[in-house]
């Protein structure tokens, strides 16, 4: 589903990704682990198309489509979802307004009919319930005044509503207590564990992987994948550290 080949990318003139290659098949969950500064967040921003993250070499295809040729909003409509490590606060714009605009903007780009207000609210209610996020929270401005855990739950509600085929989740486990971690983990499983979907989990720690079992684990260091293995690799990293394993 996602095929990254020899990806090189620079931020502010400095090369961060140095020939990263990775293939994620439909139905799979891959975890990317790695030390600070390895390029984990850069990878997620490059996939999302954040301004300032420049690809200098390599290709990235989502279901055969050249992802790097698309604008960020077009990537979303093509089925990519980016879960933020630090979800952005947008004062004055309610979650309901924001997500309805997002859902209908994606539908419009795909040539689908827009959701009516009622249809959208029904969908939002269902997904908020799944992540145990109070529907009233979605009437508030985007992420404003939300705790770290609430922001991450809200990210997952967004993912549920937007129904992507491929999700890149950047440190979704950071800032979560154990209860929130379980809810978010179950959310990822319910929303994204399907034969026609796939997930790339970017994480520091093993603990989220207790809830979302990865099929493949990669170690990212120095801007490239240095090791790939099964779920046992995450445990090995946890007990021995990155330096010993990679």
Partner 1 sequence: MTEALAHPTTHDEEWRYADGEWLAKADPVELAHWHDHAIPAGEIERGFAVIEPGEGSKVDRLRVHVGKGARYEHFVINAGGPYARCELDVTLEEGAHFELGGVTLGGGDARAEIVTRVVHAPRATSSQVVRSVQWGRSVGNFLGRIEIPRDSQQVDAAQNFKAILLEAGASANAKPELEIYADDVKAAHGAAVGALDANAAFYMASRGIAPEAARKLLVRAFIADAFAAVAHEEVRDDLLEQALHYLEDASL
Q: What stretches of 86-223 adopt beta strand conformation (E)?
A: 90-94, 141-142, 166-170, 198-203, 216-221
Cβ nearer to partner 1, comparing 87 with 214: 87
Cβ nearer to partner 1, comparing 71 with 136: 71
As measured in angstroms, the least distance from the Cβ of 110 to partner 1 is: 10
As measured in angstroms, the least distance from the Cβ of 157 to partner 1 is: 12
What is d(CA 84, CA 67) in angstroms, rounded to the nearest whole number? Answer: 19
Cβ nearer to partner 1, comparing 72 with 149: 72
Question: For 69, phi and psi rounded to 5 degrees?
Answer: -85, -10
As measured in angstroms, the least distance from the Cβ of 146 to partner 1 is: 14
Widest Cα–Cα separation across the chain: 54
What is d(CA 218, CA 21) in angstroms, rounded to the nearest whole number? Answer: 11
Alpha-carbon torsion angle 53, 57, 58, 59, nearest 10: 60
Cβ nearer to partner 1, comparing 73 with 122: 73
Residue holding tokens 């330096």? 243
Is 41 in contact with 17 (CB distance < 8 Å)?
no
**Residues lying near partner 1 in the complex (CB under 8 A):** 48-51, 71-73, 75-77, 81-82, 84, 87-93, 97-99, 101-103, 105-106, 109, 141, 158, 162
Alpha-carbon torsion angle 153, 235, 31, 127, nearest 10: -20
As measured in angstroms, the least distance from the Cβ of 121 to partner 1 is: 17
Cβ nearer to partner 1, comparing 124 with 217: 124
As measured in angstroms, the least distance from the Cβ of 11 to partner 1 is: 14
């Amino acid at each position: 589903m996602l095929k990254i080949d020899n990806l090189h990318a620079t931020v502010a003139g400095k090369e961060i990704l140095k020939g990263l290659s990775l293939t994620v098949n439909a139905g799979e969950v891959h975890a990317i682990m790695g030390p600070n500064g390895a390029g984990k967040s850069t990878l997620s921003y490059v996939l999302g198309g954040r301004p300032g993250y420049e690809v200098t070499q390599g290709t990235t295809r989502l279901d055969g489509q050249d992802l790097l040729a698309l604008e960020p909003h077009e990537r979303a409509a093509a089925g990519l979802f980016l879960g933020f490590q630090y979800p952005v606060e947008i004062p004055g714009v309610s979650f309901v307004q924001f997500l309805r605009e997002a859902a209908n903007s994606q539908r419009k780009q795909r040539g689908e009919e827009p959701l009516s207000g009622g249809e959208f609210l029904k969908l939002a209610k269902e997904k908020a319930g799944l992540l145990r996020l109070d529907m009233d929270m979605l009437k508030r401005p985007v992420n404003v005044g939300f705790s770290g855990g609430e922001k991450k739950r809200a990210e997952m509600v967004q993912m549920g509503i937007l129904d992507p085929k491929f999700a890149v989740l950047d440190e979704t486990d950071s800032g979560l207590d154990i209860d929130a971690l379980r809810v978010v983990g179950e959310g990822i499983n319910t929303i994204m564990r399907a034969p026609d979907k796939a997930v790339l989990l970017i994480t520091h720690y093993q603990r989220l992987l207790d809830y979302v079992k990865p099929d493949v684990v990669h170690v990212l260091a120095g801007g490239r994948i240095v090791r790939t293995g099964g779920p046992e690799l995450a445990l090995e990293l946890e007990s021995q550290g990155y330096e010993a394993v990679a």
